Chains A and B, each alone.
Chain A
Amino acid sequence: MRITRRQFSASVAAASVAASAGGAFAAGFPERDITLVVPWAAGGGTDALGRTLAKNAKQYIGANVAVVNRPGGTGVQGMQSVAQAKPDGYTVGLVTFHLSSYRLTGLSQLSYREFEPIMLLNRSPTGFLVRADSPYKSMKDLVDYAKANPGVVTIATSGAGAVPHLSAALLAKQLGLKFTFVPFDGGAPARTAVLGGHVTMLVVNSEEALQFYKAKQLRFLALNSAERHPTFPDVPTIAEAGFPLATLLLDWRGLAVPKGTPPDVIKTLTEGFRKMSEDADYKRLMDEMALPRANAEGEKFTAFLEDIEKALEPALAEVGLLKKI
């Protein structure tokens, strides 16, 4: 089932793009509204991030940035539409982690190679959590139990092949454990299943657990990160919990434009979006959503994407989802 919705105002912006196609750019870029394509549904975390980022665009880049949601096909449709858009800088994509995995899982040929990366916006570490009344007080308790009872520990994840699932699978492989994974359609339903006591452990992006961590309904066992999280200062990293992982996978979100966009347009966009990402409203939202901000622009973003793809391949092979095309 696919119930779609669309931003009318943004569609109008898109229509005007089509209407005035063929004009020269660079010199006066931007001379009309820019479209930011969000490949996920309105209402999700990525959508909220995109909209808050675009909210005060006018004062930083000299044009409005209209958000268009183009969900479907686990993000492929939206990102594909960006890759195929006219490379004039007026279509910017909010690309997400899935772009790193499409080629490896056989979902699509699409990868970062079809884009000019602008900047990395955020990196989210995976959190390992249990319900507050769970007998497992630490990661060690859980690992010991799982060792003695292979396959009995059920793990709710935000989706098959997403970073949390892969992180938990890598942990299982390294420690020789067997978990039973229950994939859900996103972090929220997974969290609900653990809150209701239907599944033992919750493995999702750490920010998904924020409210329930504050309300003391869920307990962090560990955070799959190299350093502690400012919002969850008392939560040990996975290494501190006693299980240093060989590979650390991180979920990410960033901005990219179609391949072939002129360099001076990219420069203007990079400067504009950098200012937007330093806006007080945006920073407050990111902090309140417990999303660690990141800044890696251009080349550094590309290097990050190359690294993550290399790390992903063995992880996907481990969970049986590797299907290279």
Chain B
Amino acid sequence: MLRRALAGDIVAALVLASGAAVILQQSTTWPAAADVAGNPVVFPRMVAAIMLAVAALLVGLKLPAPDPDEAGAEGARRIALAFLVTAALAAGLDTIGLVPGGFLYVLAMQRIAGAPLRLAAPFAIAAPIVIWLAFATALKVPLPWGRLMPALGW
């Protein structure tokens, strides 16, 4: 448990340190405007320096672990699938459109979450249609209809 907490803090420290490195490196390319509101690199470099300090403390202080989670291997499988399916929706939303894409997405996620098909199907069908009616029809917020839909004659 302690090992995992430390792993989280080390990842965070790495993120902060590399973020700081990027800011410090990039700031050398910024135009130091002569007469305009001070030097634009001061604040970002200040933040970057603090980021480095906090990164060092995160590794050095060995903070107590956060609350453990007990979902285990089963949970890991679920979350990996959920990420995958969500990324697929983000990639395909414009092409397949919200209504069919949303149906497949909700159905897949509900199955991953362990809902029986009988319970999941009605919600998976209704949700994208309700969202479409609320956003696109009633409130006139455009949502992706999908490039496939016209090909299907819709």
The chain A residues found within 8 Å of chain B, CB to CB, are 8-9, 11-12, 15, 106, 160-161, 169, 181-183, 319-321, 323
Please give the distance in Å from B135's CB to the nearest CB on chain A: 10
Residues of the A chain whose Cβ atoms lie less than 8 Å from the Cβ of B61: none
Give complex CA distance A106, B31 in Å. Answer: 10
Give complex CA distance A160, B37 in Å. Answer: 8
Give complex CA distance A221, B117 in Å. Answer: 76
| Chain B residue at smallest Cβ distance from A179 | B35
User: Contact: B140 with A321, CB < 8 Å?
Assistant: no
Q: Count of A-B contacts with CB under 8 A? A: 34
Q: List 14 A-B contacts (CB under 8 A).
A: A8-B139, A8-B140, A12-B140, A12-B142, A15-B142, A106-B31, A160-B37, A161-B36, A181-B36, A181-B37, A183-B36, A320-B34, A321-B33, A321-B36
Query: Which residue of A8, A12, A169, A182 is within 8 Å of B37 (Cβ)?
Result: A182
Please give the distance in Å from B126's CB to the nearest CB on chain A: 24
Residues of the B chain whose Cβ atoms lie less than 8 Å from the Cβ of A15: 142
Task: Count B-side interface residues using an 8 Å CB cutoff.
Answer: 10
User: Contact: B35 with A8, CB < 8 Å?
Assistant: no
User: Contact: A320 with B36, CB < 8 Å?
Assistant: yes
Please tell me if B71 contacts chain A, counting CB pairs below 8 Å: no
Using a CB-CB cutoff of 8 Å, which residues 124-145 of chain B contact chain A? 139-142
Q: Mask for B30-52, Cβ within 8 A of A = 1, else 0?
A: 01011111000000000000000
The chain B residues found within 8 Å of chain A, CB to CB, are 31, 33-37, 139-142
Give complex CA distance A169, B36 in Å. Answer: 11
Please give the distance in Å from A193's CB to the nearest CB on chain B: 13
Residues of the A chain whose Cβ atoms lie less than 8 Å from the Cβ of B33: 160, 319-321
| Chain A residue at smallest Cβ distance from B135 | A8
User: Contact: A181 with B35, CB < 8 Å?
Assistant: yes
Query: Which residue of B34, B139, B141 is within 8 Å of A319 (Cβ)?
Result: B34
Please give the distance in Å from A92's CB to the nearest CB on chain B: 20
Residues of the A chain whose Cβ atoms lie less than 8 Å from the Cβ of B142: 11-12, 15
Give complex CA distance A15, B136 in Å. Answer: 12
Given contacts A161-B36, A319-B34, 17 further A-B contacts (CB under 8 A): A8-B140, A9-B140, A11-B140, A12-B140, A12-B142, A15-B142, A160-B36, A160-B37, A169-B35, A181-B36, A181-B37, A183-B37, A319-B33, A319-B35, A320-B34, A320-B35, A321-B33
| Chain B residue at smallest Cβ distance from A14 | B142
Please give the distance in Å from A18's CB to the nearest CB on chain B: 10
Query: Which residue of A8, A182, A183 is within 8 Å of B141 (Cβ)?
Result: A8
Give complex CA distance A105, B75 in Å. Answer: 52
Please give the distance in Å from B70's CB to the nearest CB on chain A: 38
